[in-house]
Amino acid sequence: MQRLIGRVALVTGGASGMGKQTALRLAREGARVVIGDIDEVGAKETTEQIREEGGEATLRPYDASLETSCVELVSSAIEKYGQLDVVANIAGISAFYRLDEISTEIFERFLSVNLTSPLIICREAMPHLKRTRGSIVNIASVNARVCAPYHAAYGASKAGILALTKSLAIEFAADGVRVNAICPGGFDTPMNEDHRMPKGIDEGLLARLYPLDEMGNAEQIAGLIAYLASDEASYISGEDIVIDGGLRSAL
């Protein structure tokens, strides 16, 4: 399908996992893609794959924990293409901690990368999205709605994404900018492969996170983002769409 021809999409976290598959999918839909990630090697591989498939992509290394880097990422997209139609805030971090392990530094790191960075990118992108009546898709988590053990810091940051998404959807509805969030459950991505786990935890509590006995794949998220970014989803805004393999129904 070619639903995004003529549009420019900014994808954060495009070096691997959901971000990489989203960048690839949006390019295949016809968008020119700006890829932001702290992992320059992985982002370069994504960029080169898009070009090999005949698409157009630009790499911009950035650090989600730094405001200046987030601002420069959006500016680079405008400098390159002169417009911005789609923003996919996918970059994020995840780890499991017992409450007594969560220092202020750890908590602030989760907030900085998972919540503050998307807010800054939305803020900087909004004037350009208003011109194109564009779309934002933020990645939250099912843990923003159904809390998991040992995930207090992560869940808090992702719950903030839902509040951010819904607030912006209302604030900019009259400007034609749609803002939605996706709440994934367990997905087979590099971030989840390297999850930090505390010692001595109750594994039974975490086993309930996968009622289908399998994890989702990043392509499923990418397909949903492509839909939300397209005109087919023109009446969808302010939503938090759960894609969790039946997790909430099993609880």
- What pLDDT was estimated at residue 123? 98
Amino acid (1-letter code) at residue 3: R
Give the list of residues 6+ apart from residue 172 with CB closer than 8 angstroms, or none: 126, 129, 130, 179
- Give the three-class secondary structure for 63: coil
CATH classification of the domain holding 69: 3.40.50.720
Q: Which residues of 61-100 are buried (b: 16+ CB within 10 A; e: fewer)?
A: bbbbbeeebbebbbebbbeebebbbbbbbbbbbbbbbeee
- Residue 232 in contact with residue 3, Cβ under 8 Å? yes
User: Tokens 């803020």 belong to which residue?
Assistant: 123
191 belongs to a structural domain: yes
- What pLDDT was estimated at residue 195? 56
- Give the three-class secondary structure for 180: strand
**pLDDT tens by residue, 33-53:** 999 999 999 999 999 999 999
245 belongs to a structural domain: no
CA 54, distance to chain mean position in Å, is: 24
- What pLDDT was estimated at residue 143? 86
What does the alpha-carbon distance between residue 223 and residue 82 come to, in Å, rounded to a whole number?
A: 26
Cα angle: 14, vertex 183, 117; to 5 degrees: 50
DSSP string, 182-239: EEE-SEESHHHHT----TT--HHHHHTT-TTSS-EEHHHHHHHHHHHHSGGGTT--S-
**pLDDT tens by residue, 104-162:** 999 999 999 999 999 999 999 999 999 999 999 999 998 888 877 888 999 999 999 99
- What pLDDT was estimated at residue 188? 55
220 belongs to a structural domain: yes
- What pLDDT was estimated at residue 218? 82
**pLDDT tens by residue, 161-218:** 999 999 999 999 999 999 999 998 765 545 555 555 566 666 565 555 554 445 678 8
- Residue 111 in contact with residue 149, Cβ under 8 Å? no
User: Tokens 């607030």 belong to which residue?
Assistant: 167
174 belongs to a structural domain: yes
**pLDDT tens by residue, 68-108:** 999 999 999 999 999 999 999 999 999 999 999 999 999 99
12 belongs to a structural domain: yes
- What pLDDT was estimated at residue 57? 98
234 belongs to a structural domain: yes
- The helix (H) or strand (E) run that includes residue 66 is none
- What pLDDT was estimated at residue 201? 60
Question: Residue 206, CB half-sphere, CA atoms under 13 Å: how many?
Answer: 14
2 belongs to a structural domain: no
- What pLDDT was estimated at residue 212? 45
Q: Which residues pair with 87 in a beta bridge?
A: 10, 136
- What pLDDT was estimated at residue 118? 98
Give the list of residues 6+ apart from residue 39 with CB closer than 8 angstroms, or none: 15, 16
What does the alpha-carbon distance between residue 50 and residue 177 come to, in Å, rounded to a whole number?
A: 27
Q: Which domain holds residue 149?
A: 8-239
User: What is the domain count for the chain?
Assistant: 1
The pTM assigned to this predicted structure is 0.89
72 belongs to a structural domain: yes
Token couple for 232: 């087919």
Catalytic residues: 154
31, pLDDT greater than 50: yes
- What pLDDT was estimated at residue 185? 75
Is the alpha carbon torsion for 188, 140, 107, 98 positive or negative?
negative
Token couple for 128: 């350009």
